[in-house]
């Protein structure tokens, strides 16, 4: 298997440091909502990619190749119908750059890194008496002529060997990359939490309530389409494999509304086709998040660009809008293409929302939130994608009144392209 090469990924690969901030949207005629960035990242995927990057550096040295690499696709396999390959490629790029590797196809000799990933159920630690849900990432090596580079168990005569390495990854971030919708209290003992996640993987709790896609808890996701100047909810359905689906059509603009039915605030992260809604942010980290107050909603109206509180000029020295609408388009115009995923990737056509708790500073966290110590281990048309549509005149300001959890409570995936 060889994935499609995406040099566009190299152009847009940047390194962003996470910071804890908050924003409140105050657009004209729209009720206040909020945004925030996570207090701290989940580390398991970053550690895995760092190990892979070390192996890549070692391989380049053993094969006497220069330190130029390019990142191809990481394609989901099996039941994993997700857009996580973009995030795998992004993090691997950052790790390689941090080790002095040039992510570029410049010169006559370079190495392509691509691969695949799939969901696995296995013991994360040898001492575990239970399986955990994770993903197995396979990384493949090719030379500048698209020929496999053999790196493992090569015999003296050149026969044998393999051009790939594999690494299992566990944790909340890995489960999200696998495209699994789930909802569990973060403070459950690890064994019980994994049992519930695996159960929901095989028998998803996703359901339709009116025009919302919901899990078992108080959180929901709604997709609304602009029609004649109004936002009209699009009716979702539950399809094969109990996966949520909303039919969107080429040329339509849509928004994603997150419903918080809990008695505490939440933060919501949004990815469209595997790309974070803040990917083009000029003044925020790419992993910023919206805040929904108790029994309120948070609406993602498009791709965030900047706060809108002062003029920001683009490359052509023209003012940039603060937000660009989510526009259903073909692959060629999509943000996903610019971010590095291929037209054939199954990642195209996926909306992903992950939800974490928040709470007022100086107050205890909500029930179900873990303490400082860890628990003991006991369409219609295939190929639709989202581009940037019209500029929207929205304004945002910083808010910092909440503590932000790093623990995921719920993940809801919605497909809009079959």
Which pLDDT score is estimated for 131? 94
Phi, psi values for residue 390, rounded to 5°:
-65, 155
- Closest residue by Cα to residue 149 from 116, 118, 117, 115: 115
Using an 8 Å Cβ cutoff, are 86 and 45 in contact?
no
Question: What integer best gives the mean pLDDT of the chain?
Answer: 78
Helix pair 85-98, 44-62: axis angle to 10 deg = 60
Greatest mean pLDDT range, 84-98, 249-263, 370-384: 249-263
Which pLDDT score is estimated for 273? 85
Which pLDDT score is estimated for 223? 97
Report the length, in residues, of the chain. 418
Q: What is the mean pLDDT of residues 5-10?
A: 28
Q: Is the pLDDT of residue 227 over 90?
A: yes
Confidence of residue 10 (pLDDT cuts 50, 70, 90): very low
Alpha-carbon gap, residue 227 to 230, rounded angstroms: 5
Residue listed under structure tokens 């932000």: 404
70 vs 10, which has greater pLDDT? 70
Confidence of residue 385 (pLDDT cuts 50, 70, 90): confident
CA atoms within 13 A on the CB side of 57: 16
3-state secondary structure 289-306: EEEECCCCEEEECEEECC
Using an 8 Å Cβ cutoff, are 395 and 308 in contact?
yes
Which pLDDT score is estimated for 80? 56
Q: Is the pLDDT of residue 377 over 70?
A: no
pLDDT tens per residue across span 268-318: 999 898 888 998 888 888 778 889 999 999 999 999 988 887 877 777 778
Alpha-carbon gap, residue 357 to 19, rounded angstroms: 17
pTM for the whole thing? 0.74
Q: What is the mean pLDDT of residues 18-26?
A: 34
Which pLDDT score is estimated for 258? 96
For residue 31, what are the contacts with CB-CB under 8 A and spacing of at least 6? none
Q: Is the pLDDT of residue 170 over 60?
A: yes
Q: Is the pLDDT of residue 379 over 60?
A: no
pLDDT tens per residue across span 337-356: 787 665 555 557 889 999 99
Confidence of residue 32 (pLDDT cuts 50, 70, 90): very low
- Residue spans per domain, the chain: 20-40+181-415, 44-170
Which pLDDT score is estimated for 150? 80
pLDDT tens per residue across span 183-195: 888 888 989 999 9
Q: What is the mean pLDDT of residues 353-360?
A: 92
Q: What is the mean pLDDT of residues 83-110?
A: 80
Which pLDDT score is estimated for 3? 35
Confidence of residue 242 (pLDDT cuts 50, 70, 90): confident
Using an 8 Å Cβ cutoff, are 116 and 77 in contact?
yes
Greatest mean pLDDT range, 10-14, 43-47, 52-56: 52-56
Which pLDDT score is estimated for 253? 94
- Closest residue by Cα to residue 43 from 91, 76, 10: 91
78 vs 287, which has greater pLDDT? 287
């Amino acid at each position: 298997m060889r994935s499609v090469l995406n040099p566009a990924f190299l152009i847009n690969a940047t390194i962003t440091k996470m910071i804890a901030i908050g924003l409140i949207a105050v657009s004209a005629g729209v009720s206040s909502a909020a945004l925030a960035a996570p207090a701290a990242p989940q580390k398991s995927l970053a550690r895995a990619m760092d190990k892979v990057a070390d192996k890549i550096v070692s391989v380049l040295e053993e094969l006497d190749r220069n330190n130029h690499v390019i990142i191809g696709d990481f394609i989901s396999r099996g039941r994993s119908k997700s857009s996580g390959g973009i995030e795998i490629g992004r993090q691997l790029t950052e790790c390689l750059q941090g080790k002095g590797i040039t992510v570029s196809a410049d010169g006559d000799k370079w190495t392509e890194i691509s691969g695949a990933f799939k969901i696995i159920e296995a013991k994360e630690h040898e001492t575990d008496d239970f399986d955990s849900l994770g993903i197995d990432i396979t990384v493949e090596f090719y030379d500048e002529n698209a020929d496999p580079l053999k790196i493992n168990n090569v015999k003296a005569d050149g026969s044998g060997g393999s051009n790939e390495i594999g690494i299992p990854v566990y944790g909340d971030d890995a489960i999200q990359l696998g495209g699994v919708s789930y909802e569990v209290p973060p403070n459950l003992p690890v064994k019980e939490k994994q049992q519930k996640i695996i159960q929901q993987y095989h028998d998803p709790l996703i359901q339709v309530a009116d025009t919302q896609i919901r899990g078992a808890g108080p959180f929901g996701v709604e997709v609304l389409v602009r029609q004649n100047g109004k936002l009209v909810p699009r009716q979702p359905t539950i399809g094969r494999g109990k996966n949520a689906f909303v039919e969107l059509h080429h040329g339509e603009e849509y928004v994603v509304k997150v419903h918080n039915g809990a008695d505490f605030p939440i933060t919501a992260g949004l990815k469209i086709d595997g790309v974070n809604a803040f990917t083009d942010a000029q003044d925020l980290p790419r992993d910023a998040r919206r805040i929904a107050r108790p029994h309120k909603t948070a609406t993602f109206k498009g791709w965030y660009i900047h706060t809108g509180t002062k003029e920001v000029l683009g490359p052509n020295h023209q003012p940039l809008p603060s937000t660009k609408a989510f526009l259903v388009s073909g692959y060629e115009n999509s943000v996903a293409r610019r971010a590095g995923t291929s037209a054939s990737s199954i990642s195209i056509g996926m909306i992903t929302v992950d939800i974490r708790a928040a709470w007022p500073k100086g107050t205890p966290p909500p029930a179900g939130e873990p303490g400082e110590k860890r628990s003991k281990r006991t369409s219609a048309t295939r190929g639709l994608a989202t581009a940037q549509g019209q500029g929207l005149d929205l304004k945002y300001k910083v808010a910092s009144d909440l503590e932000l959890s790093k623990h995921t409570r719920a993940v809801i995936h919605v497909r809009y392209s079959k």
